[in-house]
Chain A
Amino acid sequence: MSHALIPPAQYSFLGLPTIVISFIITLAGTATFVFLIYKRLVPLFGAAPDNTRLERIPERIVNTLKIWLAQYRQPRYMFAGILHIAIFFGFLILLIRTASLVVIGFWADFGIPGFTSGPYVIIKDYAATIVLIACVIAAVRRGIFTPERYKVPEKYGHDHTKEAVFVLAVISTLMLSESLFEAALIAAEMQKGGHVTYAAPLTLVWIFANLLSETSISALQGTHVISYIVHDICFFFFACFLPFGKHFHVFTSIFNVVFMRLDKGNIKPVQYGISDSQLDELESFGVKKLEDFTWKHMLDFYTCADCGRCSDHCPADAVGRPLSPRFITIKGRDAIFKNYPIFGPKPESALLMEGTYEEDEIWSCTTCGACEQECPLGIEYIDKIVDLRRGMVDEGMVPQTLQKPLKALEKRGNPWGKMEKKRLEWADKEFVKTCEVKSLEKGEEAETLYFVDSISSFDERMQEIARSTSLILDAANVDFGVLGKLERDSGSEVKRFGEEMLFQDLKETNSEAIKESGIKNIVTADPHAYNVLKNDYKDLPPIEHITQVVDRKIREGKLQLNPLEEKDKVYTYHDPCYLGRHNCIYDAPRNAMDAIPGLTRVDMQKCRDRSFCCGGGGLMLFYEPEEETRMGVLRVEMAKKAGADVIVTACPFCLVNMEDAIKVAGMEGSMEAIDFSELIARQLKS
């Protein structure tokens, strides 16, 4: 094929054939890249195992198509999301062109069939143009306006803006050089007459070709070859620069999404491949050193794009606790870089709690899951936090305020150390006159188990939830009973606070009692219990949350609700983390509330899967973090902003936190918090 300009593969600089330069660049670039990837893979192969990531391939393919290819989570931040989608698709489209370009350095006429002319060429030219525009906008946004979430607090080291802008500049150079390479050729074709390659209007190629239309052929030849070399160098530089920082995600994100977590709500086992009954044989528990993380968790560290969405939604970060999920990852990544240097000997990995993470940082997490919900790359936090806590528990590093409830849970099955026989005190003589509560411990039989859990059993205020739930079940003609003194704490937070063996004990005791009781299904009003029984226990009968039961019974016409007496109040529903994000129950409680005639309901701005944690449940009630304000206070302020007078939640811990927050915020009288079960019980038609 004849060329209007000498292609780089045939050109010579001062007697040095460009093909040699291309060869050197390609060889050096490829070798370096392979070497770097190998170096980055070394820690992954030394990490803890996790074979589950290779299972359930169809689900993984769907996930990858949705989250990676379709960039499903990106538009949650609309502007940044669109910029990213532009660059992402531009990259994908240009990948073919870029690969071809590398080969063209040796073989002038190379082209992948179907991609040398026609729609692809037009599409890729527009893609390059859009990517450049997106890069410029992104650079201005990042470098000049710098959104709040990109800021790096002093304790976490230096700002990342320079790196971000630099990479945007490299990408822009790639776009410009590719376009110039092409445009120079088109300009030469135009001057020489004959076949002129089509340049789509307003693309970079089109603009450059027009600008260069008067330029001399020799200058065009120079531009053509130099932009080729610049592109070649830039491309390999970019590839080799990626593994040194947050832009590694360009390479790793697809793997991270392929291998991402498929289940919700549950906590990873102490060690994959070790069954609960084998736990005693383990030498050490949890993550103490970097290498104790699983390979997927290390891949998470590599993959973080530093977009800050996790921390932007983290309630702990919002109230000034010493936790920012973004830096859990970045500090983890830095630890890998430090422990696995590209050159030189590998230093001994230090304990993560000595230098990388702080104890308070790790205890500050409420496991609300907002960070994971937001991450566009499928990075996990809760499992890592729990693994780090397991490591601390194993070393005895547990805050004093948590030791007492943990010990009480061990001895008495509840965090307050109350006697087991008092578990059923909420169903006092007065109450059982109006509502039968079968006690399964005493040999009575029932279809449904109402699992009360500790807080609704022992906390005087929350006992109201237990009574309301019973009234609802009774009204819906559910044949239910409770385990009474046979019930133990569900252990939801025992597990999430890293005390796995204690959790195993609680789980076994509860599982046995549930199986012995002969019930067919389980109902609970506590989302933490709901979640742990559903997702962390094994082989239990099906379980429903009371919101689901109410929704279903209303739809079936088995539960009728009276109209609201006070109609001037506005209600809002606060999604408990363990009902919403961890179990995707968003509509049942809303439907049920809307079924109350005369009830006005608004949603807060942060609702459903973006609900803002109230402060955490279970053992979190006993932990005293450093914080500037309370999560609950921020939450009741959000409710106020939404115009609500009543916050309805469906979790006893949420209620504790909300009621406290209303007092702390001085909103008594103007804001009220009640539980879903209380609201429904109040409206029951007798």
Chain B
Amino acid sequence: MFMDEKGKLFGKVSIIDVLVVVVILAGIVGAVFAFGKINSGAVLTENKGIVRHDSTLDTLEVTMRLREVRSMTKDAIHIGDEVFAKDTGKYLGTVVSVTSEPAKKIISGFDGRSALATVPEKMDVLMVLHVDGKRTDGGFFTGNNIHLVYGSEMQIITPSIQSTPIIEQIKIVTEE
């Protein structure tokens, strides 16, 4: 008989025991599934605009300004370098252009004058990245849901440097 008078399946295994095992297995499967969804970016654990994992992504061109750095910093950034967010380690984008211009600082004199003075031996480095992302209702987001905000500072690392540049421009280069 399928279940005996003692509630055992085929007279061997208690139905309650079987149900407990099924619940545990269902919980594990559910956790793996949910973890996969979070990992792929389809679901965020925070309340922000979402780039769903099945969205087609555009190529964003993001210009970042590293302020008042020395030449050794610029020399350590190369086209093709991958850039990551320092706090999460998430991939941000790839460097496509590195240029520099003299660093400048506003100074004021005792006589009430002010001037935009060049900072000697320092430069601003303009680093342009290509980033897979999208503009959503909540703003620009990368494919793994890093929020890109004009004027914000972002701690980044590359294979050689760490820095906190300011996002100076975000534009869509190619649309999918």
- Indicate whether A and B interact: no
